[in-house]
Amino acid sequence: MKTIRRVLQGFHSSNQVNRSEIDSIKSTVGVDKTLKKKYVSFYTCMYQKSTMWTVIAGAITGLFGASYLGIKFWAPWVVYDLKYIWTVMISSVLPMLSDIKKRKLPIDRFQETVKRDPQKTMLIVEKSSFSYGEGNARANKIAHSALSLGLKRGDVVAIILANEPDFIWTILGLQKVGVQMAFINFNLRNESLVHVIKVAEPKMIFVSREKDIQNPVSDIKNELAGIPIYHFGEADDPDFKPLDGVIEESSDQDVSEEFRKEIKMIDNCCYVYTSGTTGLPKAAYIPYEKVVKASWALAALNISKDDIIYTSLPLYHSAASLLTVENVIRTGATVVLKKKFSASQFIRDCRDHRVTVVHYVGEILRYVAATPPSSSDSDHCIRCAFGNGLRRDVWKIMSDRFKIPHIYEFYAATEMPVGMVNISNKLGAVGRMSPLLKMTLPSEFVLYDQATEDVVRNKDGLCVLAPLDTPGLLLLKLNERRRMTFEGYKGKESERKKKLVHDVIVPGDCYINTGDAFTRDKDYFVYFADRLGDTFRWKGENVSTTEVANILVELDILTDACVYGVEIPDNEGKAGMAAVSLKHSLKTDDLSLTQEQIKAIAQISEKHLPSYARPRFIRVVKEFEYTSTFKQSKLRLKQEGYDLNKVDSPVYYLNCKENTYKEMTPEIEKQINSGVIKM
């Protein structure tokens, strides 16, 4: 065991593999079957009790259990597992489980940080900075304001705010009194905006002081069933109620902990929206337990009070609000919050603020990598970056040119109860899932039909496991604990059932379908392969294909529309493409669009869709292909993409400068593929 401990401690500070120590471990655990059975029994007992020691003791004793089961656990991949167990399980999972058991909320951790170091800088926004003491005082004013407005524990407030200090004070203040929050995407318009607000059933709405965010809310106020709208700053709409006056008159002293004394870990903390398979965004339940898990997720990065974390991701996303902010307030670190990302100023911002940790999505680092090289590219204090969606070529540039020593790529989904993280700096990987780690995170990668996107089953009706190096759909086993934290979506209980897959390994079992496919290499590192279903990711945002299609078919000129994602070289994610059928095309072979039709499609897209959701390409089809279950078949459309050599009709591309669609020529296609024309 001493040898095992030395290896674990070595991996905590180094990625180097000592072959002699691996051999030593192999000989150390090469014990008789009686002893192996004892370790297996111990592991089984610990696993079933589901205590906070289960993951730690279970994973380590699982080494011996694996030997008993005939797994050659001394294979090279076990070395990575040992590092993972030490780094993730002990530094993150153990204290996280402790907080859950003690019912210690993230806001309680924030209070401890304030008491410990009130003068420490908490937040930097542009040229302004706020200490933990100042942040706490402002959050207290929000908490007291909420109480004076009649809000109580369990009520919901819809928050429509940008990356601004008000967002931080609001989420902290409302957590102090147990009020739920709905994080609204301020890019939404019209029907989509009405839907996301009403589905959360808020008692009131808090809207930004920015007029560009206030105006779309003003446009739909008559459809909000009398929900009062409070605004920060000034507002032009006389029906909006001022919030600043209420805040100014409120106390800046801590509210009593009695307001959150009755909160349970399974109670809902907030709603974060995901793309809807039925067209409109879904409000995912985020219980307090999941917020606690998020607040410890970066412990594996050794985040401390000395770190300064940079994020430009919108706070209405869980990655920024739950992952970044909650880890900052737990540790007493500092967050640099950017309202709008600038690739040309990125390194300068990091240098000026002495940033040590960067939060990214692949798209923003691709922009950074595309900037002209400079002698100051590596002149910074960044020790690591964490995020998701980073392409391998961009990863190499960030490591080689910008000298970022460690990149923690992770996989997570808003509504999913668990995720993965790559702590080994393995190029392109989002985490790992070995036979040993599956003992602590029961999951499977199964084969799926690319046309129907359904799981493939064998003659016994069970799922077929995907071999290594073959794309497999990730399924997470649904145990009792995950049943409590996977509540699904508010107002869409049927959508939760759609996420469940039964009879996976044995008859009667139940798994959660993540909707994402991955490959694994021989060392069990996991690589993202594709997103299935009715969503794709573009510009760091999830796009619902059904929502876009439903908007397009409102046009009288169209009989139907099929929306899907297509790849553009050297771009993160997939760009939206719409295949449409015209009413006149049913009677003719003409598959082109007139200027009036192009204008109509452009106008309805601009009016009703966020900029990232607008289709980048349009094509006309005479009729659609359908699967055996009468769903539109997108496989051939995806394979053809916008390639003029494959598409038998004109393709129209979105000219972003002129804000309209134009017919694509071979030369235009070449310029899009080479990056001359930005999409």
pLDDT tens per residue, range 533-573: 777 888 878 888 878 888 898 898 888 889 999 999 988 88
What band does 492 get if pLDDT is binned at 50, 70 and 90? low
Backbone angles phi, psi at 502, to 5 degrees: -105, 160
**Better-scored residue on pLDDT, 596 or 88:** 596
Least confident span in 6-10, 395-399, 448-452:
6-10
What pLDDT does 156 receive? 97
What pLDDT does 43 receive? 35
What pLDDT does 197 receive? 96
C-alpha–C-alpha distance, residues 597 and 534, integer Å: 26
3-state secondary structure of 234: coil
Average pLDDT on 37-45 reads 36
What pLDDT does 584 receive? 67
What pLDDT does 37 receive? 39
> Is it the case that residue 588 has pLDDT exceeding 80?
no
Of 85-94, 247-256, 602-611, the range with the highest mean pLDDT is 247-256
What band does 6 get if pLDDT is binned at 50, 70 and 90? very low
What band does 22 get if pLDDT is binned at 50, 70 and 90? very low
Q: Is 527 exposed, middle or buried (0-12, 13-18, 19+ CB in 10 A)?
A: buried
Least confident span in 7-11, 175-179, 580-584, 630-634:
7-11
Average pLDDT on 41-52 reads 38
Least confident span in 54-63, 114-123, 226-235, 455-464:
54-63
What band does 50 get if pLDDT is binned at 50, 70 and 90? very low
Average pLDDT on 325-337 reads 96
Task: Name the average pLDDT for the chain.
Answer: 85
Q: Is the dihedral of CA 474, 478, 484, 489 positive or negative?
A: positive
Q: Is the dihedral of CA 391, 394, 398, 399 positive or negative?
A: positive
C-alpha–C-alpha distance, residues 194 and 268, integer Å: 22
> Is it the case that residue 436 has pLDDT exceeding 90?
no
C-alpha–C-alpha distance, residues 618 and 639, integer Å: 15
Strands 357-361 and 334-337: unpaired
Average pLDDT on 476-483 reads 73
CA distances from 186 to 193, 213, 228, 318, 335 (A): 8, 6, 18, 15, 22
C-alpha–C-alpha distance, residues 280 and 283, integer Å: 10
Q: Is 128 exposed, middle or buried (0-12, 13-18, 19+ CB in 10 A)?
A: exposed
> Is it the case that residue 28 has pLDDT exceeding 50?
no
Least confident span in 50-64, 90-104, 468-482, 594-608:
50-64
